[in-house]
Chain A
Amino acid sequence: MPCNPKQRSYKTLNPKPHWLALILAILLFYSGGNVVAQDSVVEKKEKSWSFNGYLKDMQTVVIHKIDEPWVTDNLIHNRNNFKWNISKSFTFCLQERNRFYWGDFAAISPQYADFIAYDNGLVNMTWNIFSGNSYILNIAIDRLWLDYTKDNFQATIGRQRINWSQTFVWNPNDIFNTYSYFDFDYEEKPGSDAVRLQYFTSPSSRAEIAVKADKDKKITAAGLYRFNKWQYDFQGIAGIYTQSDLVLGLGWAGQIAKGGFKGEMSWFQPLQHFGDTTGVFLSSIEYDYTFRNSIFLQFEGFYNSNHINSSNVLINQFNPALLNAKNPFLTGFSIFSNISYPITPLISIAVAGIYNPTNKMYFIIPTFTFSLMNNLDLSLISQTFQTYDPALMSSCQTSVFIRLKGSF
């Protein structure tokens, strides 16, 4: 699937007002009248807005063979989160990120700039301000929503993250904004352009309807009901995925022997030839346990009945244009395990592994994090992809990431 060529570099803000912006503007204007009235009755006024974010620098080194030239790239990454509590009922949120890439990636892969500028939303809010053979400056808005709350009811409109997932790595129930586990540096994960209505039926249960449109104007619409019973959270989902499939799903989060026990499954059935095609079944089950000495163990199994395997697994996992909820990872069974341990309160190490016997592939992901100061962290992460399938040997590689993150 090619990236949208229109989204190449030198994009500027679209001057035409869009429906989303228009609705936001109207709602903001409308609620503005309430602010004064609200304020006069509030005795002790909390600050009505908040601003936070971070600045990161990450050096990436990709090594195919140790004696062949290494590919390096650097990313300077700033994120700004702004939230405004307009009144008791209305909240506005804007979050954007500014990324400056410089290094070998843009020159080696002609499509790299398109990767970076890819935006799956109905409204394009991701722009390469400028790009060349060795650099890309990108600005992206990944949250832009207005929220209205009244008693047990909540409505959110705009670019938002609708996260129905329960498990850690693979999320069959996360049908609105799929992400890749390997893309660890995108901590917030993408949002989608949607309208979301939630009704909280009790302190730990809710019913929800969400409708999103993607950049091809395809609609995904689904409902969720989540409730709490026998110390478990259960959820059921039903809806239409990108106007092409009926999707039904189940999920849970509970505990066995004091460890977390979570799971998700989804069934996608194509609407065309509904009766005579086989659907796609995705399922993940997770168990995690924290020992008293703070060793944390985590296991997750995943099954993907999809038959379409991607030609280059690793690149697909990093290419948001190729990720989709129906085929979020390799076909067949995959097993994930992770162990982490804080060697000292400031230094923690973790080693994760993923094994997929169906495709003869495995991944090893060691992580080292070091808290340098209250708001400054250093991470060293490596992702090694290996296979024992001779046909895929050439794509074996190791990526090493060194990241410094300052939060504000």
Chain B
Amino acid sequence: MKKLFLLILVIGGWQGSFAQALSAKEIIQKADDKNRGLSSQGTMTMTVIRPDWTRTISMKTWSKFREYSLVLITAPAKDKGQVFLKIKTEMWNWVPSIDKTIKIPPSMMLQSWMGSDFTNDDLVKQSSIVVDYTHKLLGREKVREMDCYKIELTPLPDAPVVWGKVLMWVTVNGYDVWMAEYYDEDNKLVNVSNNYDIRRMGDRDIPTRLEMIPVNKKGQKTVMHIVEMKFNTGIDESFFSQQNMKKIK
């Protein structure tokens, strides 16, 4: 009996060390895969909160792998119907009112909507937390009751990334990004993001409320709310086309 107990302990210990052996990159990869799936489609809103005003934008999104995404703006009224299409590294914006497809240069990607603390890049995910960074496991920490891996992400020299460094806390149980800190190139903390409200979305449980808080600006934050999300619905790559950009609804 003692032997058996020892065996279980050894196996348990071995399993534990196996989990420990998961590299920082693998943890981030798991978190990224979970958030993204092979493909996903959903509805979300983004609210920019400032001390004396708020603005809300709503959108429908479709994505496949890292390469393809399509975003349809559904509110506010003046922007409704605009579509953003990303194929690999290129992006287009469809403006239905004037029947114009505008090719978006990379510098425009860094603009934000209504001063949102998320950039366009956060929305269409031009850069990847897996591919564009090197990863280092700094240890484990408890954040808002959740046991998390603390990982440091340093961007590769040519990566299309605005940050100098990113720290991420990824839950040990669910591989959800639970908190993140974004540092500029001078290693100053710029933004903190906190994720909340783990809910069932399609085939998985994910945080559905994401808050991005700029550190130096009191009373400011941007809240992304996932209203609906489905994963691995088998969207074909041909869905992400300029033809469909004009038809999507």
Contact = CB atoms under 8 A, between A and B. Distances in A.
B89 A231 contact: yes
B116 to A, nearest CB: 8
Interface string B57-95: 000000000000000000011101100000101101000
B114 A345 contact: yes
B105 interface: yes
Interface in A325-379: 342, 344-346, 371, 374-375, 377
B194 interface: no
Given A52-B80, A375-B78, A289 B107 contact: yes
A150 B238 CA distance: 14
Given A206-B242, A206-B243, A231 B90 contact: yes
B42 to A, nearest CB: 15
Interface in B106-129: 106-108, 110-112, 114-116
A288 B48 contact: no
Interface in A371-399: 371, 374-375, 377
Contacts of B56: 374
Contacts of B198: none
A131 interface: no
Contacts of B81: 52
Contacts of B144: none
Interface of B is mostly: mixed
Contacts of B107: 258-260, 289-291
A207 B249 CA distance: 24
Nearest to A163: B99
A152 B50 CA distance: 45
Contacts of B241: 200, 202-204
B114 A188 contact: no
Given A292-B162, A344-B115, A407 B76 contact: yes
A408 B228 CA distance: 24
Contacts of A152: 243
Given A344-B115, A375-B77, A203 B98 contact: no
Given A52-B81, A260-B103, 16 more contacts: A50-B249, A163-B100, A188-B97, A203-B237, A203-B238, A203-B243, A206-B243, A231-B89, A255-B106, A290-B108, A342-B115, A345-B48, A371-B55, A371-B114, A377-B78, A408-B77
Interface of A: 46, 50, 52, 54, 85, 149, 152, 154, 160-163, 165-166, 187-189, 198, 200, 202-204, 206, 228, 231, 233, 253-255, 258-262, 288-292, 294, 296, 342, 344-346, 371, 374-375, 377, 405, 407-408
Interface of B: 48, 50, 53, 55-56, 76-78, 80-81, 87, 89-90, 92, 97-100, 102-108, 110-112, 114-116, 162, 237-238, 240-243, 247, 249
